[in-house]
Amino acid sequence: MAVSSARIAGRRVGNAVFVGACVLVTVLALAALAAILWSLASQGVGGLNLAVFTKSTPAPGSPGGLANAIVGSIMLGLLAMAIAVVIGILAGTWLAEYAGDSRYGSAVRFLNDVLLSAPSILVGLFVYEILVAPFGGFSGLAGGVALALLAAPVITRTTEDVLKLQATALREAGVALGTPVWRVIGKILWRSGASGIITGALLAFARISGETAPLLFTALNNQFFSLDMTKPMANLPVVIFQFALSAYDDWRRLAWAGALIIAVSVLGVTIIARILSQEQKRS
């Protein structure tokens, strides 16, 4: 009796230690999140003013803003999404509707999953080799393609998952009316899965909007305001990288302001995506 109650006490203590450790690390993780958000807010808000959105990146010591980088980032993001949405939705549709259990289908599915988490810097090197080196210069176009390669696997994956969730009866109903399969997909399946596909696209957009590494070798940077996609193009991540590592206080302030802008937009997009996917679950 004494032995068993000692054992029970031992198990209780062990459990208490374990539970305590779980609570402790959760608090630690949340503290890390709070610390990062706090630094961003306290350092970033101080650097925010109207000039950040209206003036181009300055030389050290003179006033300026991030307007060229913000516009550049938006253009790169839109170009990337335009490419990635088309490729991602079509590829996801092929995987869900046409590939079945074929070997080629499984191979694409598997390698798409690998591509999904492949280091972005290698995608940057690849695009440098095919679009920058042969054409003799960095360009916004190359930057957009690099980002598209990072976004497309995300959209492919969510599209496939969403389409597979649609009821077979929907497909059969469409086909029974004599509708060609591609119209069944376009008019019925894509529409009923729209919110899921949009969620995937938003998450992909959130992923690429903070990407820095692949842009270093593709879009590079541009000190001036430019809308020409065939030339090097300013963008927020690379400007932040350059300014943060500089020795000038006003550049560092701009870097924090830029980091805050990116983080807020990424978090905003992520939250919208979550709300959308929750609504989808409810309906």
Q: Which is nearer to other proteins, 12 or 54 (CB)?
A: 12
Q: Please identify, among the stretches 62-70, 71-79, 189-197, 250-258, the one whose residues bind other proteins according to the rule CB under 8 A.
A: 250-258
Q: For residue 115, with 0-12 CB atoms within 10 Å meaning exposed, 13-18 middle and 19 or more buried, which class applies?
A: middle
Site for other proteins contains 189 (CB under 8 A): no
Identify whether the C-beta of residue 185 lies closer than 8 Å to the C-beta of residue 164: no
Q: Please identify, among the stretches 49-57, 67-75, 222-230, 248-256, the one whose residues bind other proteins according to the rule CB under 8 A.
A: 248-256
Site for other proteins contains 57 (CB under 8 A): no
Q: Which is nearer to other proteins, 161 or 250 (CB)?
A: 161
* Nearest-10 Cα torsion for 160, 165, 167, 168: 40
Site for other proteins contains 234 (CB under 8 A): no
Instruction: Tell me which residues in 70-99 interact with other proteins (CB under 8 A).
Output: 86-91, 93-95, 97-99
Q: Which is nearer to other proteins, 191 or 274 (CB)?
A: 274
Q: Please identify, among the stretches 7-15, 50-58, 65-73, 190-198, the one whose residues bind other proteins according to the rule CB under 8 A.
A: 7-15
For 37-57, give the DSSP string: HHHHHHHHHHH--HHHHHSPP
Identify whether the C-beta of residue 270 lies closer than 8 Å to the C-beta of residue 276: no
Task: Tell me how far, at minimum, the Cβ of 192 lies from other proteins, in Å.
Answer: 18
Site for other proteins contains 24 (CB under 8 A): yes
For 239-266, give the DSSP string: HHHHHHTSS-HHHHHHHHHHHHHHHHHH
Distance CA 168, CA 182 (A): 15
Q: Which is nearer to other proteins, 23 or 194 (CB)?
A: 23
